[in-house]
């Protein structure tokens, strides 16, 4: 069964559980993702997306997820597993920097 719904400037077509949106491009090439989907996936102003041209007039749009939170979580897990505090890590930082500087830039 095909179901059509109107959501502001787009039409939603649902075919067997798959939802397709018919969107209209504006004068400067803007296409609005409906608020319902922005809320569902927690998209916000400034989010970055990747648009992949499938070559046959079709496009695939996907949010570009930053790796920074994932890497930070991994680093935090390693720190906790090692039984270190942030202060423990910062304590030796100055000495590590000094050693690295000497390795890279000393004449000796």
Residue pLDDT tens, the chain, 108 long: 445 555 555 677 777 777 788 888 889 999 888 888 889 888 888 888 988 899 888 888 888 877 787 788 889 999 999 999 888 888 888 888 999 999 999 876
Cα–Cα distance between 97 and 93 in angstroms, integer? Answer: 6
**From residue 82, how far is each of 74, 77, 85 by CA, in Å?**
12, 9, 9
**From residue 97, how far is each of 5, 55, 76, 94 by CA, in Å?**
60, 49, 21, 5
Contacts of 10 (CB under 8 A, 6+ apart): 21, 22, 23, 24, 32, 34
Which pLDDT score, from 0 to 100, does residue 28 have? Answer: 92
Which pLDDT score, from 0 to 100, does residue 2 have? Answer: 46
Which pLDDT score, from 0 to 100, does residue 33 have? Answer: 87
């Amino acid at each position: 069964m095909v179901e059509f719904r109107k959501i502001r400037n787009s039409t939603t077509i649902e075919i067997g559980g798959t939802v397709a949106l018919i969107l209209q491009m504006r004068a400067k090439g803007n296409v609005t993702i409906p608020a319902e989907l922005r809320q569902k996936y927690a998209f916000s102003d400034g989010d970055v997306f990747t648009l992949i041209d499938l070559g046959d007039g079709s496009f695939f749009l996907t949010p570009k997820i930053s790796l920074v939170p994932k890497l930070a979580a991994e680093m935090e897990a390693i720190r906790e597993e090692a039984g270190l505090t942030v202060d423990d890590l910062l304590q030796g930082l100055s000495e590590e920097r000094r050693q690295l500087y000497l390795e890279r830039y000393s004449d000796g």
